Each structure stands twice: as C-alpha cells, then as structure tokens.
Chain A
C-alpha cells in the first residue's frame, strides 16, 4: 500500500526543451515510452505532452514535460510563448535541453537563452555518433565546462546514454545554478546591468532584463511601470545606435551568434575535409529539382493511392489471363477479384486482377461486418405460378432465406423497431465507418513514412509557388491531397500549417476534394448518364474531380480576398536531413490516429446515425413507417421549393443528400432504398440531366460526412467557426449547383455567372487595396511618431 503511493508521487519534474528536428520527440518517446509522435514538420508537438521515466534501481519517478520544438524564446510564436512561460513558472525542477551535435551552433542559440534563466539544467548532446561517422569529434567535457552545466552525450535513436542522462538530471535537482549570459561583456553589458538594478530579486532577473533590452513585447508589458527608465537606459547606449541603427533585437541576436561562434567553434574538431554536399543535399538535387521535383512527387503519390485504393494491383490483369481467379475459394477471394462476365460464346472476361493491400484490408473488415451484422433476408413465399402464398389474413406469407450475422440472429424474435435501431441504425452506421478505416490508416501510414523521412518538408517547398497564387502556402498542399482519400486525416493534417488564417481556409476547402467515399456516387450516376445521354462514364467521373478542384481554387481566391490577407506568410522552413523512417515513431503515430478514429466511430458517428435512422423511419407520431412517410420525407417535402432552382426539387433527392451526412456512400444506398435503383431515381419526373449533374455537384461540395465535420470542429476549435464552416459549405454547394443547373439549362447564363464571380474578386481586390493603403498610412505615421 505504502509503496504504491510512493510510486504515484513524482520525484523530479523535467522540462524537455530543444529545436525542432533535433530528436527531442524521439528522446521523449525513448524515455517515457509514451505515445508522442516524432515528425519532421516544424512544430508538430503543439500540445503539451507529459510522460514519466522510472528509474528501476531507486524506484524514482521522473516526470517529463515535452515542450514544443522551438528555435528561440522570443515572443512571436505561440510555441515559444508556451515554452518560456512554462520554464519561467518554475513548475519543473530541472531543464533538460537536447541539442543536435551535427548542428551545434544553431542549437546553442536556444541553449544560451535557457542559461539566462537561473534554473538547474542538463544538456543532452544528441547525434554525437553521427558526427563521429563524418570524421568529426566533439569535446563533451569542454562543452560542459563552457556552458557551466552537465552535458551528456546520448543517442535518442539508439537509446544510448539515457541512464547516464537521467542520473545527471537526478543530481541536478535542487542544485542552485546562477543564471549566466553571454552578455557578461560587450556593448550590452551596461544596459542589462542597469536594468537589473531596477528589478526585484528573482532568479530570472537576468533573463527578464536581457529580454527588456531586446524590446520583447510581453516582457515590456510585465514591466510597464519601468518603461520610462528602461527607455532612458537604452537611449544612452551609443554603440548600439552606431553599429545596429538602434535595433536592439538585431544587436542581441548578432552578439549571441557572435559569442557562440567565438566560444564554441573549437569544440568540434574535424579530421578530414567535409564534403560540400552531403548525401541529403544530393538527394535534394533530384527530389526538389525545379522540373523533376513535381513529377517525382506525383509518381510517389500515385503509387500510394494505387496501393491503397486500386482493385487492380500494378495493372497485373494485363498479364494474368481472363478468368484465372473465377473459381478460387472464399479465403483467396479476399486477395483477388473473382467477378467476371461471360458473353454468348462463353468468353470470360474479368476475374484476373489482384487487389491492392488497401482493398484487401477493406474487404476483410466488410467480411467481418457481414459476419456480425449481415442483413436477415426475407422473401415472400411463392407457389408454382410465382403467385404469393397468402395466410389466413390475406397477407403474403414470408420465409427467411438468409439468417444473417450474429446480431440479426440474436434479434430474430425482437420487435421490428429494435431490430431496426440496432442493425440498420447503429451497427450499419458504425460498420460503414469502420470499413474505411483500413484504407484511411494505410494512407496515413504512407504519409507518416514520407513525413518521417523528411520528404514532406520538401513537398511543401516545391508546391509553395503554385499555392501562393491562390492565397495558400505549400504547407496546405499535403493536407488537401490527403482529402482525395479521406477528408478526416486531411483536416487533421492541417495542424502543421502555422498561419491560422491559412489553416482555416485549408479546412474549408477540404471537402471539395472528392474523397473515396464519394466516388460510388459518381460511378453510379455516370453509369446511368452513359445510358440516358450517352456520356463517357470515365469522363463524367473525372469531371466531378475537376469541378471540385476548380471550386476549391475559386473559393481559395475569394477567401483570400475577403479575409483581406495581405500576401502570404513568408515561407521559411528548415529541411531536416533525410533519414530512414523509424518503425516505433510511425507505429505510435498510426496507433494514435486509429484510437481517435475508432473512438469517434463509436460515439459521435453512432449517435448521429441513430438520429438520422430515426428520422428516416418514424413519423411525427412516433410510429414506425417506411421512408415514404418518415419525418425526413415530410420535412424534405417542405423544402422542395428551396431546391427547385437547383433542378432537383424532389424530397427523395433531398433525403438522399441528407443521408450523405452519415457517410457519403449512404447516398447511393438510400437512393436504392427510396427509388429501387439509381436509374429509376434519375428518370423521375421533372429532373433533367442538368438537374442530375447539379445534384452530383451538390453532394460533392456540401457539408461532408459527420466524421469530417467532427474533425473540422476539432481543428477549428470553436463552435462559431464550425458553424461558419457548415454555412460556407452549404452556400458554396447551393450556389455552384444552381450555376450548373442554370448554365446546363440556359447556356447563356454562363456569362452572367462569370461576370458575377469576376466582379466579386475585383471588388474585394479594390476594397482590400483601400484597406491596405489606409493601414500603410497608419503604419508610416506610427513609425514617424516613434
């Protein structure tokens, strides 16, 4: 009893700080075994992560707080503010600063800032082994001496030196360490010292006064009472005025780098001449080449999508004879396509392709769904003349032809509504969502690997040029591309975009990229349109993707103009050295996503499917009726007028679109429930071809499935913004569908729409110009006053 209480207590609390891409998260994972992800994107750990390390010998518990990867303790980015606030709060006992030995100077820029805070500190020198491989040596003792804190050489990747590191941390707890600064001499010393005299005694007095000299806004607010005196002290400094034009921020940065250069360049010694270009640089010569970069990238993406979604792996059906797999057993049919067609002469075509891993896994989950929740099939009993046999009440007698899965069998004698709510409502919805999981996860796996190798940062770089034109940056590209697979991981991936406005715009555009679940709609309608109006079905499907991309581009432009964003955020991004992906970090990442997704499927998605199922099966008097008389049908009927301008003002169309909120493939299945077949649905009264295309576009552009809305709401962070997003999607889909219908019906209206869109963009442009001109004037005035 006593012991368990003891182990719950945290003995030492450590704040883990370091640059992005220096192995910080790898170290965190190695120490805590916790589920944090290592990524090469700058700022992947925006949240605060905590874990603990247990020393087996002494049963000591060390809690570790993983701070976001930062380059400095300046007040510009939220990551930096979070980190410095945490360190200054002195919640932690020891600062653990991890630095990358292969990039020592840049890493020490942060270290020297941390040293200005008077707290116990240990430096973990990571990747010293990589230096050795390059024929370089680093003098750990000398480094430790110069920094005045213990330095332990480790390899986070190979989990070496971790025990020694934790031992050093243990010894440092409670040790009084005086804050030291590089400003112990030089042109800033006097100013810093004088400001320090004004302050009360505290152990981050030095840090605060350096920041005050720097002109740090947050610090100035904190010491607003002293602002006049500080200004006086700074104005006295003639040298800074002469050498740096009075810019203290530049002065400090310059002096800091100067200091690092003067004092630490001797720590690393090299035996041999370093090649001008590393292996990584050579890879970049090809992978980020101005002409080949994009084609290579497209090839990689094509391969990923092929492995995830293809029904015909590597196009092997070209060499496998037709019908080769037509008689394989059930187990083998998970791997290969067994469907084939036979013409009158007995020639077999099909049944000769192998499934991609993604399709195979999806099939597996569907089989599982069938096993658990396979529908119970009931048929009317017929006599020899195909006439239904009637019972004594004159109702047709029925027999069960298919017993169904475990649950339907269990519910054999349950009332219809109970069977309905469990099997058709909850389980169908949950299994519908679960069946995407294999492909989403596979897509995620590939993308995580790409991210882990460092390639993703390059993709952002090569795509930046094109994306800047429409007001996004290269960092929006990957998330949007993922949306072709599924909007959920796509929206989650927007977290890597630093600029908030850009991130929100990217989320708004996400559903326009036709996801895998929407494609059944295109295939079903394209097949019908091929027979009714003779359109090439492949072109129809392709056209839907194009419509989505075009709408996204125009919407991005309009969002850019309306939000009045001036230019794009400057693109500055560290390109980490390429390395082989680590199994551990990739699996941890995938596992986290999987947990998140399954949790959603079990909660939000299940709840919303029950609601929609209820609305689709009951009337207002709580009686279970068919779809025809259901609440949705009635309410849909009220809104028919609203969809008349879109060309599909029929309640069945509206209901089909609404069921798409559960999951987009529901659209096709509810069409089948409502009309019997897609053909019957399309040939309904009063719906023209233009109306059908308009309906397709509406489904493409409108509010995505609940899973995606949930993800968006999580990333947007507020109910207000989520509501705006939903409204934005409804409006966009409504307007574009109307446009398609009207242009399809009266072709000349195309000119009106073109004029209106151009008008909006031009108007927004001029309004912004005025706004900016005003801003600029204010700015110049402000600077004049200063």
Chain B
C-alpha cells in the first residue's frame, strides 16, 4: 500500500522506499526509512504531514506515492485522539 492511501492517524510500517537515490537519502536523514513506523497526521489532497520518530515531516504527493507501507498486525490506532 502506498503511504498516500494509509488511513489518517494509523501507525503503519514502511516496507520500501522507491524514490530516486537522492530523495531516498534525504528521507533517510530525516528518519523515514524502511522498517520504521510512520503515521499520517493529515492529508491535503495527497500532500501529507506525517509523524515519524517524534518528528513532523511534510511530504508532497510524489514522495508519498513512493513510500510503501503495511498495516501492522496488532491494531493500534490513535483514532480516539482525533
């Protein structure tokens, strides 16, 4: 699943980042890397604000399309807080 279509507020796990190398490196540096957990806080027509390691990051749609995530097995959502 693309990060783009991940439900808002749900903790998901990144399985792959399929951008070009340079973008991938920038994502890595800011903490977005395969294996880490990420939650979409907000989506503006595909542009996202995500929470990753206590840090808020804005990503545009092109980037969000190329972050592949999966829903974790145990259902932990932050829906109540929203």
A and B physically associate = yes
Residues of A within 8 A of B56 (CB): 280-281, 284, 574-577
A interface footprint on B1-21 (CB within 8 Å = 1, 0 otherwise)? 000000001000000000101
**Contact between A74 and B44, CB atoms less than 8 A apart:** no
How big is the A interface, by class? Answer: 35 or more
**Contact between B35 and A254, CB atoms less than 8 A apart:** yes
Residues of B within 8 A of A576 (CB): 56
**Contact between B53 and A105, CB atoms less than 8 A apart:** yes
* 13 A–B contacts from the bound complex (CB under 8 Å): A76-B25, A102-B54, A103-B54, A106-B53, A249-B28, A250-B24, A250-B34, A276-B80, A281-B41, A288-B44, A571-B47, A572-B27, A574-B58
Contact of A277 among B22, B30, B62, B82 (CB under 8 A): B82
**Contact between B49 and A71, CB atoms less than 8 A apart:** no
B63: Cβ under 8 A from any A Cβ: yes
Residues of A within 8 A of B41 (CB): 277, 281, 284
Contact of A103 among B35, B36, B53, B60 (CB under 8 A): B53
Q: What's the minimum C-beta distance from A406 to chain B, rounded to whole angstroms? A: 54
A290: Cβ under 8 A from any B Cβ: yes
- In the complex the two chains form, what is the Cα distance from A768 to B51 in whole Å? 37
B interface footprint on A60-73 (CB within 8 Å = 1, 0 otherwise)? 00000000000110
Residues of A within 8 A of B62 (CB): 567, 570-571
Q: What's the minimum C-beta distance from A498 to chain B, rounded to whole angstroms? A: 10
Residues of A within 8 A of B45 (CB): 290, 465
A523: Cβ under 8 A from any B Cβ: no
A259: Cβ under 8 A from any B Cβ: no
Besides the known contacts A105-B53, A575-B58, 9 further A-B residue pairs in the complex with CB atoms under 8 A apart: A72-B25, A105-B31, A109-B29, A250-B24, A275-B81, A290-B44, A571-B63, A573-B57, A573-B58
Residue of B nearest to A21 (CB): B55
Q: What's the minimum C-beta distance from B49 to chain A, rounded to whole angstroms? A: 6
- In the complex the two chains form, what is the Cα distance from A276 to B81 in whole Å? 6
**Contact between B44 and A465, CB atoms less than 8 A apart:** yes
With A105-B31, A250-B34, A253-B33 known as contacts, the answer to whether A571 contacts B58 (CB < 8 A) is yes
- In the complex the two chains form, what is the Cα distance from A687 to B23 in whole Å? 55
- In the complex the two chains form, what is the Cα distance from A103 to B52 in whole Å? 10
**Contact between A571 and B31, CB atoms less than 8 A apart:** no
A457: Cβ under 8 A from any B Cβ: yes
Residues of A within 8 A of B51 (CB): 281
How many interface residues does B have (CB within 8 Å)?
39
Residue of B nearest to A76 (CB): B25
Contact of A572 among B30, B34, B42, B54 (CB under 8 A): B30
Residues of A within 8 A of B28 (CB): 72, 249-250, 253
**Contact between B33 and A572, CB atoms less than 8 A apart:** no
B72: Cβ under 8 A from any A Cβ: no
**Contact between A257 and B35, CB atoms less than 8 A apart:** yes
- In the complex the two chains form, what is the Cα distance from A572 to B23 in whole Å? 9
With A249-B25, A253-B33, A572-B27 known as contacts, the answer to whether A284 contacts B49 (CB < 8 A) is yes
Q: What's the minimum C-beta distance from A103 to chain B, rounded to whole angstroms? A: 5
**Contact between B35 and A284, CB atoms less than 8 A apart:** no
A293: Cβ under 8 A from any B Cβ: yes
**Contact between A254 and B34, CB atoms less than 8 A apart:** yes
- In the complex the two chains form, what is the Cα distance from A277 to B47 in whole Å? 19
Q: What's the minimum C-beta distance from A686 to chain B, rounded to whole angstroms? A: 52
- In the complex the two chains form, what is the Cα distance from A745 to B81 in whole Å? 64
- In the complex the two chains form, what is the Cα distance from A72 to B33 in whole Å? 14
- In the complex the two chains form, what is the Cα distance from A281 to B39 in whole Å? 12
A27: Cβ under 8 A from any B Cβ: no
Residues of A within 8 A of B43 (CB): 290
- In the complex the two chains form, what is the Cα distance from A458 to B57 in whole Å? 10
Q: What's the minimum C-beta distance from B7 to chain A, rounded to whole angstroms? A: 14
Task: Please list the 7 inter-chain residue pairs (A to B) with the smallest Cβ-Cβ separation, ordered nearest first.
Answer: A276-B78, A71-B29, A276-B81, A571-B60, A290-B44, A72-B29, A461-B58
- In the complex the two chains form, what is the Cα distance from A396 to B52 in whole Å? 83
Q: What's the minimum C-beta distance from A136 to chain B, rounded to whole angstroms? A: 11
Interface residues of A in 351-375 (CB under 8 A from B): none
A769: Cβ under 8 A from any B Cβ: no
B interface footprint on A77-121 (CB within 8 Å = 1, 0 otherwise)? 000000000000000000000000011111001000000000000
Residues of A within 8 A of B19 (CB): 570
Residues of A within 8 A of B60 (CB): 464-465, 468, 570-571
Residues of B within 8 A of A123 (CB): none
A462: Cβ under 8 A from any B Cβ: yes
**Contact between B47 and A105, CB atoms less than 8 A apart:** no
Contact of B47 among A102, A109, A457, A461 (CB under 8 A): A461
- In the complex the two chains form, what is the Cα distance from A567 to B59 in whole Å? 15
- In the complex the two chains form, what is the Cα distance from A736 to B56 in whole Å? 44
**Contact between B9 and A74, CB atoms less than 8 A apart:** no
Q: What's the minimum C-beta distance from B39 to chain A, rounded to whole angstroms? A: 8
**Contact between A464 and B47, CB atoms less than 8 A apart:** yes
Residues of B within 8 A of A257 (CB): 31, 33, 35-36
